[in-house]
Amino acid sequence: MKSKTIASIILITLGIVVLAYSGITFTTPGKTVEFLGLHISTTDSHFIPPVVGAFALVGGIVLLLVKPRSA
């Protein structure tokens, strides 16, 4: 398989997953806060909206259908 085909399949798959779940929320570790000798861990919450999934899906389909230019 060509790298273009693999990239388009990945984009299409990710687009479908994001649209199926109406967006994806995930957390990452944030800064550790030190207050009066206490170490408090924080987390940052991130959200991928369904619009990004739609763009990934359309971009993957376009990438799959577009023919390369001949030199």
Specify the residue for token string 């109406």.
22
pLDDT at 71: 59
- Measured between alpha carbons, how far is 41 from 67 in angstroms, rounded to an integer? 50
Specify the residue for token string 């359309």.
58
Helix (H, G, I), strand (E, B) or coil at 39: strand
* Domain range list for the chain: 3-65
The pTM (predicted TM-score) of the whole model is 0.75
**Model confidence over 8-36: pLDDT tens digits?**
999 999 999 999 999 999 999 999 989 88
